[in-house]
Amino acid sequence: MAEDMDSDGITDSPKKGPTLSTSTSSFEALDPHDPNLSKLANNMFSKTSEYLYGELTSTLDDYRLLENMNRATITKYSDMKHIAGNVSKSMAELNEKYESLAPLLQQIDQIEDSVVKLEQAAYKLDAYSKRLEAKFKNLEKR
């Protein structure tokens, strides 16, 4: 068997040529394998499968969450659209009412101006009457 080894320590496989080791790197279907190595390989593939399944499941859960969030957002925006429509209708109604009340509000403003002017005239008249009374009392004393 020493003649099958070359200077790098690589042995020749009888079927495929040089390999690192016939028990660990042989990919031939009919070659016997180490049972411990097969068990470890099966365990590795099983764990890798579980890991990939978990990754795909978490990705699927993320997409489901995004889908639920999108549905909730659509519902919120729909509600906000209805609310905005109702507010718009209410504002239009209020504007119409304000426009119908505008002439009355102008009359109220005119009446207020008249009342202010009457109040000023009343104060002037009161001051004038007090001056006249003072003059009259002054004339009576003489």
Range(s) of the domain holding residue 84 = 34-141
Are residues 65 and 24 part of one domain?
no
Are residues 63 and 101 part of one domain?
yes
Are residues 118 and 62 part of one domain?
yes
Residue 104 has pLDDT above 60, yes or no: yes
Instruction: List the single range of 17-21, 29-33, 51-55, 94-98 with lowest mean pLDDT.
Output: 17-21
The amino acid sitting at 111 is I
Are residues 11 and 42 part of one domain?
no
Residue 65 has pLDDT above 70, yes or no: yes
**pLDDT tens digits, 115-127:** 999 999 999 999 9
Are residues 84 and 100 part of one domain?
yes
| Closest among 30, 12, 31, 32 to 21, alpha carbons compared | 12
Section 70-99 average pLDDT: 97
Section 57-86 average pLDDT: 96
Are residues 105 and 42 part of one domain?
yes
CB 33 within 8 A of CB 40: no
Residue 73: its pLDDT value, please? 98
Residue 27: its pLDDT value, please? 53
The domain total for the chain is 2
What is the rounded distance in angstroms from the CA atom of residue 40 to the CA atom of residue 24? 12
Residue 71: its pLDDT value, please? 97
Are residues 51 and 84 part of one domain?
yes
The per-residue pLDDT of the chain, averaged, comes to 84
Are residues 115 and 57 part of one domain?
yes
* pTM of the full structure: 0.47
Residue 141 banded pLDDT, cuts 50, 70, 90 = confident
Share of the chain above pLDDT 70, in %: 77
Are residues 119 and 91 part of one domain?
yes
Residue 31: its pLDDT value, please? 59
Are residues 133 and 65 part of one domain?
yes
